[in-house]
Amino acid sequence: MATGRTHRPATRSRGIPEATVARLPLYLRALTALSERSVPTVSSEELAAAAGVNSAKLRKDFSYLGSYGTRGVGYDVEYLVYQISRELGLTQDWPVVIVGIGNLGAALANYGGFASRGFRVAALIDADPAMAGQPVAGMPVQHTDDLESIISDNGVSIGVISTPAGAAQQVCDRLVAAGVTSILNFAPTVLSVPDGVDVRKVDLSIELQILAFHEQRKAGEDVAEAAAVVPSAARAVAEAAADSSASVDGDGSGDSRKGPDGDVPAVMPA
C-alpha cells in the first residue's frame, strides 16, 4: 500500500467514508476476476474472502453505495462491477502524465495496471534533454519544458511524480499550476499543495521500515533487547557532508543517477 493520504482531513465524500473508498478497488478487482469466470452472483462471504476483508465490513461498504444485493442470494457480479466502476469514476477516460522517467518511471510506464481500468498514459516527461524523443514503453519521452502545454492539450488532471526527491516539489508546483488536481507521489518528500489538490504518497522506504519494526519486535520478544548501541557512530556520520542548500539535483532522471528516487541519505548504522 502506498503510505497514506496527505490532505483531506475528514471529508466524507458524498457520504462514502474514505476507508470504504480505499477498499472499493479491492472489491472491483475480485469482482472482475469473478466476471471473467462468468460467475453470475456472489455472496458477501465469498467476495469478502476473495478481497481479504471481513464480510460485515464488505456489506457495510456496499450499503453506502446503495442496496445492490438480493437477500438469500447475494450480489449480481456484473451489476456490482458497473456500479463500483461508476462510483470510482472508471467509466471515463483519465489521461495521466508521468514525470521523471528513471528506473521507476519507466517501470510505471510499462505497468499494465495503469492502462487497464480507464487510465491512459498521455505523456512521459523528463528533465534530461538526452532522454527527449527516446522511446519508453513505446512512447517518446518529452522534455519538462513542454510540461504545461502537455497538461492543457491533453486535459490531464492526474499526475504521477517519480523524480528524485529534490525535484519533486518543483515539479509538483508546475503540475498544479498547469491544472493538475490529483498527484501520485513516489518521491520521498512531503509535498505541499494548495487546497483542492489531492496527494497520495507511495513510499517504498517507509514500507520497509515499518516491516523492520515489526520484524524486530518479533525477534526481540523472547530475547532481551540485544542491540549494541553506538550512538556516537550515527552522530559522526551526520556531521559529514553538511553543505549549505539542499543538494538540488535539479532535473535528475538522467543516466548519472543511481536510483529513480534520490533518497535522503540516512544515518548508516553499523
Partner DNA sequence: ATGTCTTTGTGAACGCGTGCACAAAGATGG
Partner DNA sequence: CCATCTTTGTGCACGCGTTCACAAAGACAT
Site for DNA in 220-249 (CB under 7 A): none
Residues 230-249 binding a copy of itself (CB under 8 A) are 230-242, 244-249
User: Which CB, 41 or 182, lies closer to a copy of itself?
Assistant: 182
Cell of 162: 517519480
User: Which CB, 103 or 170, lies closer to a copy of itself?
Assistant: 103
∠ CA 148-175-90, nearest 5°, is 105
Cβ–Cβ under 8 Å, residues 97 and 150: yes
Residue 269 binds: one of DNA, a copy of itself, none (C-beta under 5 to 8 A by kind): a copy of itself
Largest Cα–Cα distance of the chain, in whole Å?
Answer: 68
Interface residue with DNA among 25, 49, 74, 234 (CB under 7 A) is: 74
Residues 26-65 binding DNA (CB under 7 A) are 43-45, 53-57, 59-60, 62-63
Which DSSP letter does residue 71 get?
Answer: T
Interface residue with DNA among 75, 124, 162, 260 (CB under 7 A) is: 75
Burial track 21-48 (b if 16+ CB lie within 10 A, e otherwise)? bebbeebbebbbebbeeeeebbbbebbb
Instruction: Check binding of 56 to a copy of itself (CB under 8 A).
Output: no
3-state DSSP assignment of residue 27: helix
Residue 10 binds: one of DNA, a copy of itself, none (C-beta under 5 to 8 A by kind): DNA
Instruction: Check binding of 13 to DNA (CB under 7 A).
Output: no
In the stretch 10-39, what mask flags binding to a copy of itself with x, by CB under 8 A? ---xx------xx-xxx-xxx-xx-xxxx-
Residues whose CB is less than 8 angstroms from the CB of residue 155 and which lie 6 or more positions away in sequence, other chains included: 95
